[in-house]
Amino acid sequence: MHSWIEQLNAPERPKRLEALQGLYQLYCEGKVQKMPVDDEYVNNHIHTTYSFSPYSPAKALWMAFISGLSTAGIMDHDSVGGALEFIEGGQILQMPVTVGMECRVDMSATRLAGKRINNPDQNGIAYIAVHGIPHHRLERVSEFIRPYQEHRNRRNREMVQNLNQITEQYGMGISFERNVQPISMCHDGGSITERHILYALALRMLDVLGQGEKLVRFLKEELRIHLNARLESYLSDTANPYYAYDLLGVLKSDLVEKFYIPASDECPAVSDVIALCEEIGAISAYAYLGDVVDSVTGDKKAQKFEDEYLDLLFEEIKAIGFHAVTYMPSRNTKAQLERVKMLCDKHGLFQISGEDINSPRQKFLCEAMKDESFRNLIDSAWALIGHELAATEDPDMAMFSETSDKKFLALQDRIRYYKDIGKRNRGGIQCETHSGI
């Protein structure tokens, strides 16, 4: 079992899927058990190594499966490179999956121009999600995003140079080609993000300073980074198994602004991404962040985002052509999310679960989903599955196609229809296990 688990992150895709098949066979024989769960859990926003994550698509699926998720969705930044592996892995595990892509878009031609939206690094640029991509249109999405990946890597190289102006004096310079590219999946359609750059720096820091007090002192005294008690405790613990990822979170929270170069050519106009979604039958979703007090992943400072102009934001995303909003029940307060849900209902926007997994500290199950007020997100996950299956078979059957618009006057009727499709195709016949689960 341990050998298979290690192989889930192998460099070659066939090896990863072979390991997943081996682990599933052990599960079917009762030698591996799922975590017992007390409710139905879904998550449509799991990052993989094709953007930034400790998990390959195969390993992300295995973690989701043994954690007790009913469904799982891949959501990488500027990439669908891991989507086919995720689909095939779902078939191996008899687990329904969805595929999507997260990207940043330019909002300068909208009423949100110049505002801090949901992006801590740059005003006027927003994160959005492309959900439920029909499987036969994945190559079209790759074709669309490829030029933006190339623009992004030119800026990535320049940001590494900026970062080296800060770190080289301490013997911690890094190379884009030698340190950043090798920890990415850019050779197989993956993207390179600021997290890759900072993870490369984190590894270099650990080479030079090691773990513990010396590194903590360096962060506080030399880089002038504020550490709250929780993060300082993590980095003071030399036995911490997630040390490099915790260090990455600290660096992302406080260091990005010191080497960041504003994104320009790598961010398509929001209208272009909406048009892509309409062309391929995918579902466009605005990714709600909301004002941050204590970041779930430790990589965002306390900061105000879109809450103070949320009514305007919803009016504008509806006018632009978005069909959905994705949000994290664990990230925001109940009051924040009640307001978001109310505005979604007011504007007829589909609501999607979006617990973005990109750190080994994060749980695949979101306990907040047990709250009855979020039961709609479970129905939405099954509707998203139904949409993806239907749109893959017949583009005219996409959830927000012209055909569906004529058939359904009420959003809830549409959700029920596609939920039924998803539930009827939930993975085929399950293997018999001896675990009693």
| Secondary structure element (H or E) that encloses residue 7, with its range | helix 2-7
Nearest to 266 by CA among 101, 107, 104, 140: 104
Residue 220 CA to residue 212 CA, distance in Å, equals 13
> For 116, which DSSP code?
-
Cα dihedral sign, 349-352-354-355: positive
316-322: long-range contacts at Cβ-Cβ below 8 A with a sequence spacing of 24 or more?
316/110, 316/111, 316/112, 317/286, 317/347, 317/349, 318/347, 318/348, 318/349, 320/110, 320/270, 320/271, 320/274, 321/271, 321/274, 321/278, 321/284, 322/128, 322/274, 322/284, 322/285, 322/286, 322/349
Task: For the chain of 437 residues, list the mean pLDDT of each consecutive stretch of 10.
Answer: 95 98 97 90 96 97 96 97 98 97 97 96 96 98 97 97 97 97 97 97 98 97 94 96 96 93 95 98 97 60 89 98 95 93 98 90 90 93 97 95 94 97 70 32
Provide the pLDDT for residue 427: 55
Provide the pLDDT for residue 295: 47
Which ranges of 68-210 would DSSP assign to H, the alpha helix? 83-93, 138-167, 194-209
Residues of the chain by 3-state class (helix, strand, coil), percent to 5: 50, 10, 35
Nearest to 195 by CA among 151, 139, 252: 252
Helix axes 229-236, 243-254, angle to 10 degrees: 140
Residue 125 CA to residue 310 CA, distance in Å, equals 16
Residue 28 CA to residue 309 CA, distance in Å, equals 51
Provide the pLDDT for residue 68: 95
The CA distances from residue 139 to 135, 149, 150, in Å, are 9, 15, 17
Provide the pLDDT for residue 342: 97
Other beta carbons less than 10 A from residue 402's beta carbon: 10
Provide the pLDDT for residue 434: 31
